[in-house]
Structure 1
Amino acid sequence: MDPTTHISHFSIEVSDGSCNGTANNVDVDPFMDDEFECTVPLKASSSNGQSINHHKASKPNGVSYYEDSSYSGKPHKAEGCNFYLATELYSVIVSSWCVLRGSKIWWLLPAVIASLVVKALNFSEAWLFSLSLLGIAPLAERLGFVTEQLAVYTGATVGGLLNATFGNATEMIISLFALQNGLIRVIQLSLLGSILSNMLLVMGCAFFSGGLVHMQADQKFNQTAAVVNSGLLLMAVMGLLLPAVLHSTHTEMQDFTSKLNLSRFSSCVMLIAYASYLYFQLRSHRQLYDTQDDADESNEESEEVTLSLKGSIIWLAGLTIVISILSNYLVDAIEEASNSLSIPLAFISVIILPIVGNAAEHASAIMFAVKDKLDISVAVAIGSSTQISMFVIPFCVVIGWIAGKPMDLDFHLFETATLFITVIVVAFMLQEGKANYFKGLMLVLCYLIVGASFYVHSDSTSEEAGKT
């Protein structure tokens, strides 16, 4: 048979474990641009009854070929295979099941619908805040999953940038809505809480759980990568500490303006430093992170590709929209919820928001530590803290600058001192490149002290003063 022969109206059987079905009387035009979604062996019978075996081979540029075993020669391009609507619908159902049911905390998904109902019926702000927070948790975890799926199709460098951008997308979305409403202190406290939670609670639980399971010997992780991240965290502390000290010592040349200008300049410097760090990690010194990459590759769950490129983009956009809606509800209700529940706003922002909002991320870090993949656990905890402190916080300052909002790096002395002490403690824990259950216990106990401190801490800046 001539490799360029136009074949039309043949049956295709598809089966790869996730997709099963048969498409009959499919028109094949080698000059069209469509292609099959499933990379699987295909069996086809031509219109004249001749049996032909085909196999799809995906190319880096997305072009697909079907090798015809009934003849020798160069495979011909077989694009333009249009599945019936039922097949497309089945694909949507399968991808939806993979995305939604695959969440480790999928049972919290009904809170998404419940929050929409509560908002529509104008129930109490406390209920709206609680349900929105619970609904964001599984969606944030799924957003990370979809980002990883999309990164498979984009290559290592672009994939790393995607993970860097969407790794803390939930915190960024909440911060942008809070910035729009002028809730500067909510932004500062919630981002500070995410950093403290990741460094003390997440990494502490990971060290403790992994140490109990592997008590016979200390667990090891990539010491070099941890030291680099610790250095970035210390730089972030410097960026937050100097504006706070400048304001507290009343040594500003111009009241308030000097602190704001210093914050904006420091934020630009921190963003440059973070961009340099991404180049260092993804390009110039990738070999320093080989241990972490090997651990990632050994994780079969992370390797499995369950979404197509188009599906990943659609789900990424959809999840971002839903998270944005719930984040808006959460920000609007947080002050009233604080009053209704008689819980200090600082405690809600620093402790409750990060714990519930990042519950799935916390569970993943513990799971990897138990499996003796501590590099991934440390990357989740320290990497996320670095991203928030060196990217999300200065990014919010720059966006506030553009929008005319007085967002600055003055987190106040108590908050900044807490962060400084935390970074020092964590840096000492990471310097050996080893972990055990005792180190984990110490980190968790430190977090309990921090939580109690913020519960009794009276924030000197009221939300009314923080609004613009």
Structure 2
Amino acid sequence: MPTTTTDRTPLLENGNGVHHRTFRERFTDAFHAEDEPSWLVSYKWFLFGSWLNILLVFVPLSIVAHQLHWDAALRFSFSFVAIMPLAALLGTATDQLSLKLGQTLSGLLNASFGNAVEIIVGVAALLQGEYRIVQTSLLGSILSNLLLVLGCSFLAGGLKYPESNFQVTAAQASSSLMTLTCITLVIPAAYHGAQSDGKKVDATVSALFSTAGQFVDGGDLVDDTTHGLRIISRGTSIILLLVYIAYLIFQLKTHAYLFKSSVVHEIETPRMNVPAAAFALLLVTLITSFCADYLVASIDETATRYGIPKAFVGLILLPIVANAAEHVTSVWMALKNKMELTIGICVGSSIQIAAFVVPLLVIIGWITHHDLTLFFADFETIVLFVSVLLVNFLIQDGKSNYMEGLMLVALYLVIALAFWVS
């Protein structure tokens, strides 16, 4: 009989006829499982799977504008638009990794990269000493998610369905944690106010009883107040991070049943393999950090030259960039009557900002010797408090309609108007 030939090389078989895989085969299997798309298919879908990726052309434009020192408005606009598709790609890569990592690791991944743009922009502004931009951008992200994104989702869902229902216990647990983080921002403002009042009294007494008419302005009390704010902010940040870790365990492990949707969802098929998604996540994060640095560097000149309040830029414009992908996803879920997912996206993202990103940036500032504190201006603290209060009132019944969405959007527009004239 003729000898049958195979595609195996005899040298790759042992005496028992067992085939030994080559290094190339082992390497390929390690980075490409049989049930996962190839690297080429993964990146083809990653880059061409959304029309929003057309805006990636502004990434090189942003770099060129910065290197050639073009007009500040062009540098700001190019970087502003460039971050929008990058934010969407960050979310896409994170979601693809989440499909394969399991629930617990997915939660940790979403906690780390779910608000990657806010972290990147915040670190860039922090290292440049733009503390005002850091605080307003983070506060703006919280307000954008709680009022604009959630409001538009309630409005869109309410126009399609008379009433939408969601798990009230999970929503209240999330909103209660949001209230806690809001209170932790009120305490530094209250402390500063109390110390300032004490300083005024002591300065007046010192002026009345100073010898030889020498006036004492109470500057040492200002230093004491700043030192106290640092201690309060850093200690509170550590506590908030611990509370957030406990919240992740509560949400993903011990009480995960509270956060499960009553609607049966289709199992999503991965469109990228794990190594390709991980590499894409790191690469997009790096590119986003450069664009964020260019964006922050152009804010001051743009605001001064064109008369745009810096608070408005940080509170309104920057969160629009960072939350563009979340905004679209949240509204889309509401139109599908998946209101638990909408609540999870909006309130959950706000919790990540308030209980994870803000404390993280305070600690990073502590390490890098940048005195970022949790002390926000009185007006900003009041705005955050009333916003959280309204959201708590609206979700406590576990139902939503278009009128509730309209109220949230209306409050956001009023706040935007107030910061425009500030």
Shorter-chain TM-score: what band? Answer: 0.7 to 0.9
Report if the CA contact (8 A) 2:41-2:272 is conserved: no
Distance 2:64 2:38 in 1: 29
Q: Can you list the C-alpha shifts for 1:271-320, whole angstroms capped at 9, x where unaligned? A: 1110100111111111111117x56x43x6xx120111110111011101
Instruction: Give the one of 305, 316, 326 matched to 1:361.
Output: 326
Instruction: Give the one of 276, 283, 307 matched to 2:272.
Output: 307
Distance 2:178 2:370 in 1: 25
Structure-2 change in CA distance of 1:29 and 1:349 (3 Å): same
Alignment match, 1:146: 93
The alpha carbon displacement at 1:376 in A equals 1.2
Report if the CA contact (8 A) 1:103-1:138 is conserved: no
Query: Is 1:287 equivalent to 2:251 in the alignment?
Result: no
Distance 2:333 2:100 in 1: 24
What letter is aligned with 2:42?
S
Instruction: Give the one of 240, 247, 252 matched to 2:185.
Output: 240
Alignment match, 1:450: 415
Distance 1:399 1:222 in 2: 36
Query: Is 1:389 equivalent to 2:336 in the alignment?
Result: no
Report if the CA contact (8 A) 1:6-1:29 is conserved: no
Query: Is 1:341 equivalent to 2:330 in the alignment?
Result: no
The alpha carbon displacement at 1:146 in A equals 0.5
The alpha carbon displacement at 1:357 in A equals 2.8
Distance 1:401 1:38 in 2: 42
Alignment match, 1:123: 70
Instruction: Give the one of 111, 128, 135 matched to 1:181.
Output: 128
* SS class of match (1:122): coil
Distance 1:92 1:157 in 2: 26
Query: Is 1:269 equivalent to 2:239 in the alignment?
Result: yes
Farther-moved stretch of structure 1 (104-113 vs 123-132): 104-113
Q: Give TM-score, length-normalised by structure 2.
A: 0.86
Written as runs of structure 1 = structure 2, the 5 A alignment for 1:155-304 is 155-215=102-162, 218-249=163-194, 250=196, 251=198, 254-291=224-261, 297-298=265-266, 303-304=268-269
Distance 1:6 1:289 in 2: 54
Query: Is 1:8 equivalent to 2:1 in the alignment?
Result: no
Q: Give TM-score, length-normalised by structure 1.
A: 0.78
* SS class of match (1:8): coil
Query: Is 1:326 equivalent to 2:317 in the alignment?
Result: no
Alignment match, 2:343: 378
Distance 1:367 1:423 in 2: 23
Identify which of structures 1 and 2 has the higher relative contact order when contacts are C-alpha pairs closer than 8 Å and 6+ apart: 2
Residue correspondences, number = 381
Structure-2 change in CA distance of 1:412 and 1:92 (3 Å): same
The alpha carbon displacement at 1:7 in A equals 5.1
Aligned-residue CA RMSD (Å): 2.1
The alpha carbon displacement at 1:57 in A equals 7.1
Farther-moved stretch of structure 1 (357-366 vs 438-447): 357-366
Which ranges in structure 2 are unaligned for 5 or more consecutive residues?
Answer: 10-18, 200-220
What letter is aligned with 1:325?
F
Distance 1:342 1:199 in 2: 28
The alpha carbon displacement at 1:117 in A equals 2.1
Distance 1:272 1:289 in 2: 21
What letter is aligned with 2:294?
Y
The alpha carbon displacement at 1:229 in A equals 1.2
* SS class of match (1:182): coil
Structure-2 change in CA distance of 1:428 and 1:334 (3 Å): same
Instruction: Give the one of 378, 386, 391 matched to 1:413.
Output: 378
> Which portions of structure 1, spanning 4 or more consecutive aligned residues, are displaced by more than 6 angstroms?
none
Which ranges in structure 1 are unaligned for 5 or more consecutive residues?
Answer: 10-27, 40-55, 59-89, 458-468
The alpha carbon displacement at 1:35 in A equals 4.0
The alpha carbon displacement at 1:38 in A equals 6.8
Distance 2:121 2:42 in 1: 27
Report if the CA contact (8 A) 2:47-2:53 is conserved: yes
* SS class of match (1:448): helix
The alpha carbon displacement at 1:97 in A equals 2.3
The alpha carbon displacement at 1:224 in A equals 1.5
Report if the CA contact (8 A) 1:103-1:141 is conserved: no
What letter is aligned with 1:261?
I
Percent identity of equivalent pairs:
39
What letter is aligned with 2:249?
Y
* SS class of match (1:407): coil
* SS class of match (1:291): coil
* SS class of match (1:445): helix
Distance 2:176 2:120 in 1: 27
The alpha carbon displacement at 1:153 in A equals 2.5
Alignment match, 1:30: 21
The alpha carbon displacement at 1:176 in A equals 0.6
Structure-2 change in CA distance of 1:321 and 1:38 (3 Å): closer
The alpha carbon displacement at 1:122 in A equals 1.7
Distance 2:184 2:117 in 1: 23
What letter is aligned with 2:325?
A
What letter is aligned with 2:105?
V
The alpha carbon displacement at 1:174 in A equals 0.7
Distance 1:435 1:57 in 2: 40
